[in-house]
Amino acid sequence: MLENIRIVMVHTSHSGNIGAAARAMKNMSVSQLYLVSPNDFPSVESSVRASHAVDIVNEAVVTETLEEAIADCELVIGTSARERTLSWEVDLPDSMAINALDVAADAPVAIVFGRERTGLTNEELALCHRLVHIPTNPDYSSLNVAAAIQVICYELYRHTLTGQSNKNKKILAEDRPATAGQINAYHQHLCEYMDELDFLRAPNSDMVRQRLMMFFNRAKPTRRELNILHGLLTATRKKIT
Amino acid sequence: MLENIRIVMVHTSHSGNIGAAARAMKNMSVSQLYLVSPNDFPSVESSVRASHAVDIVNEAVVTETLEEAIADCELVIGTSARERTLSWEVDLPDSMAINALDVAADAPVAIVFGRERTGLTNEELALCHRLVHIPTNPDYSSLNVAAAIQVICYELYRHTLTGQSNKNKKILAEDRPATAGQINAYHQHLCEYMDELDFLRAPNSDMVRQRLMMFFNRAKPTRRELNILHGLLTATRKKIT
């Protein structure tokens, strides 16, 4: 679905921002970059800042007008630093991502970013079907354009992953969580030692026992960690007796 | 709650990234910046890239070590570009934000970002209580550090707006999580004891030390639990000498 997502940068002044945007996109598996009348492109600066995403910069499509850049898109989403009072639908990035990916399953979707200083004009916004607003500090709301592209691409990528994040992690047996029985056995071992030490004479000793049990259960040691803890206890008991 | 969020940048090479990070933070109402042994700071470049967030750069706290930067924090979250197979809890930014804001309602929380090229070392990760992983393109996963800070601060800010954290939980002081400094002090105490016991003669003793550190950091004992553990250790040492 991300193959159908197109990032459109309108009248970008600083080519370094184009490079940073390309990197932000590639990090999030978004690869289609359109540049509407960039001020200074191609340039060394855009390639340097792109780092390993220079392929996205090299393959960027340059157009004269925003209309050309979005002509074949089924959904065009404009970004706005301001929460406008006009009559667009303004989404948060979260719900924007869900909408965009829905459409992108079948057709190209453009997300349009304006000039560094002034954003999109009303004429450009009028070409958009919806708006997205990245929530920001009201006292300092002007995001760097590459940072805004980072947030939007992150939201898109995040939503493609839903429910698949932790699979396929290979974990060694000894790095797996200890079983309840194993933790319990360590706790027994510890309590025996504390009895030997007369550590639990106090009237609240049951409470201490229980707190330690809760601690180790909550801590969820791995098998390897539990082995170290057992070893330490065994060495201590040997020393004392 | 965002006033208790502290962004910690470890051994940053390029001061431009410090400026870009400050801007990303301020856009999302995060203002506490700690710099652990930055390579080149203060610098013109960091102020230029900060734009209107130069106040955050000017008020950044510079420390020699990561330990100093996090000593008073109740929760320390490390960022990792890799999905590790080790035994940390690795959260997505979404759930990280909920956890972090919960704790930040009452106490400082650090989110730690590593070097541009190599991230955090295992020793630094061992000082973290949890990890967060920003999901990325498996073919190009290395986010620019300021871009990573942008995503994390965006997630935090976003969650302050939806009010999803469980604030207003009344917790007794002794049932609050121990601070990083308190856990570190217990670990020191334990290591001294293990030295006395000659428990760490083996060639892999550094590994054992580090695993125990990781375990206790991940376990997040409360202050009360830590007191019990200290008490047990003190009683043991008294018995042995």
So what's the pLDDT on residue A215?
86
User: How do residues B137-171 score in pLDDT, each as one tens digit?
Assistant: 989 988 999 999 999 999 999 999 876 544 445 67
A212 in reach of chain B (CB within 8 A): yes
What is the C-alpha separation between A124 and A114, in angstroms, rounded? 9
Q: State the pairing for strand pair A32-36/A61-63.
A: parallel
Phi-psi region of A144 (alpha: psi -120 to 50; beta: other; left: phi over 0): beta
Is B157 in contact with A136 (Cβ distance < 8 A)?
yes
| Residue in B151, B228, B240 nearest the CB of A150 | B151
Contact B32, B17 (CB under 8 A): no
Provide the token pair at A214: 């809760």
A68 in reach of chain B (CB within 8 A): no
Chain B interface, best mutation among A31, A132, A140, by max B CB count within 10 A:
A140
- The sign of the CA dihedral A48, A52, A55, A61 is negative
So what's the pLDDT on residue A168?
43
ipTM of the complex model: 0.72
Residue B144 dihedral angles phi and psi, to the nearest 5°: -60, 140
B140 in reach of chain A (CB within 8 A): yes
| Residue in B28, B146, B218 nearest the CB of A219 | B218
Is B26 in contact with A154 (Cβ distance < 8 A)?
no
- Which of these ranges, A205-209, B33-37, B63-67, has the smallest mean pLDDT? A205-209
A7 — pLDDT class (breaks 50, 70, 90): very high
Helix axes A93-104, A145-161, angle to 10 degrees: 60
Q: Between the CA of residue A55 and those of A26, A46, B153, what are the distances in Å?
A: 9, 11, 28
A88 — pLDDT class (breaks 50, 70, 90): low
A170 in reach of chain B (CB within 8 A): yes
A219 in reach of chain B (CB within 8 A): yes
So what's the pLDDT on residue A94?
93
Provide the token pair at B143: 């986010």
Closest residue in chain A to residue B50, using alpha carbons only: A144
Provide the token pair at A137: 């500090």
Residue A240 dihedral angles phi and psi, to the nearest 5°: -80, -35
So what's the pLDDT on residue B163?
60
Q: Between the CA of residue A149 and those of A99, B58, B180, what are the distances in Å?
A: 17, 27, 35
User: How do residues A37-86 score in pLDDT, each as one tens digit?
Assistant: 999 999 999 999 999 999 999 999 999 999 899 988 888 899 987 665 45
So what's the pLDDT on residue A170?
59
Is the predicted pLDDT of residue A89 greater than 70, yes or no?
no
The answer to whether the peptide bond before residue B93 is cis (omega within 30 degrees of 0) is no
Provide the token pair at A14: 């600083």
Query: What's the 3-state SS for chain B?
Result: CHHHEEEEEECCCCHHHHHHHHHHHHHCCCCEEEEECCCCCCCHHHHHHHHHHHHHHHCCEEECCHHHHHCCCCEEEEECCCCCCCCCCEECHHHHHHHHHHHHCCCCEEEEECECCCECCHHHHCCCCEEECCCCCCCCCCCCHHHHHHHHHHHHHHHHHHCCCCCCCCCCHHHCECCHHHHHHHHHHHHHHHHHCCCCCCCCHHHHHHHHHHHHHHHCCEHHHHHHHHHHHHHHHHHHC
DSSP A49-72: HHGGGHHHHHTPEEESSHHHHHTT
Identify which of A217-226, A231-240, B148-157, B229-238 has the greatest average pLDDT.
Answer: B148-157
Residue B160 dihedral angles phi and psi, to the nearest 5°: -70, -25
Contact B220, B176 (CB under 8 A): no
Q: Which domains does chain A have, with CATH numbers?
A: 2-161 (3.40.1280.10), 173-240 (1.10.8.590)
What is the C-alpha separation between A187 and A213, in angstroms, rounded? 6
A197 in reach of chain B (CB within 8 A): yes
Mean pLDDT, chain B, integer: 89
A163 — pLDDT class (breaks 50, 70, 90): very low
Is A157 in contact with B137 (Cβ distance < 8 A)?
yes
What is the C-alpha separation between A168 and A151, in angstroms, rounded? 26
Closest residue in chain A to residue B195, using alpha carbons only: A232
Chain A: closest CA distance from residue B190 (Å): 10
Is the predicted pLDDT of residue B117 greater than 50, yes or no?
yes
What is the C-alpha separation between A98 and B221, in angstroms, rounded? 39
B54 in reach of chain A (CB within 8 A): no
A164 in reach of chain B (CB within 8 A): no
Rounded to an integer, the average pLDDT of A192-202 is 83
A165 — pLDDT class (breaks 50, 70, 90): very low
Half-sphere exposure of A162 (CA within 13 A, CB side): 8
A167 — pLDDT class (breaks 50, 70, 90): very low
Rounded to an integer, the average pLDDT of B32-44 is 96
Rounded to an integer, the average pLDDT of A231-237 is 90
DSSP chain A: -GGGEEEEEES-S-HHHHHHHHHHHHHTT--EEEEES-SS-S-HHHHHHHGGGHHHHHTPEEESSHHHHHTT-SEEEEE-SS---SSS-EE-HHHHHHHHHHHHTTS-EEEEE-BTTTB--HHHHTT-SEEE-----TTS----HHHHHHHHHHHHHHHHHTT-TTTT----GGGSBPPHHHHHHHHHHHHHHHHHTTTT-STTHHHHHHHHHHHHHHH--BHHHHHHHHHHHHHHHHHH-
Rounded to an integer, the average pLDDT of B54-66 is 97
Identify which of A79-88, A151-160, A180-189 has the greatest average pLDDT.
Answer: A151-160
B13 — pLDDT class (breaks 50, 70, 90): very high
CB within 8 Å of B143: residues ≥ 6 apart: A27, B81, B134, B136, B151
Mean pLDDT, chain A, integer: 87
What is the C-alpha separation between A84 and B32, in angstroms, rounded? 30
What is the C-alpha separation between B116 and B28, in angstroms, rounded? 22
So what's the pLDDT on residue B166?
46
B85 — pLDDT class (breaks 50, 70, 90): very low
What is the C-alpha separation between B83 and B7, in angstroms, rounded? 21
In this predicted model, which residue has the larger pLDDT, B228 or A168?
B228
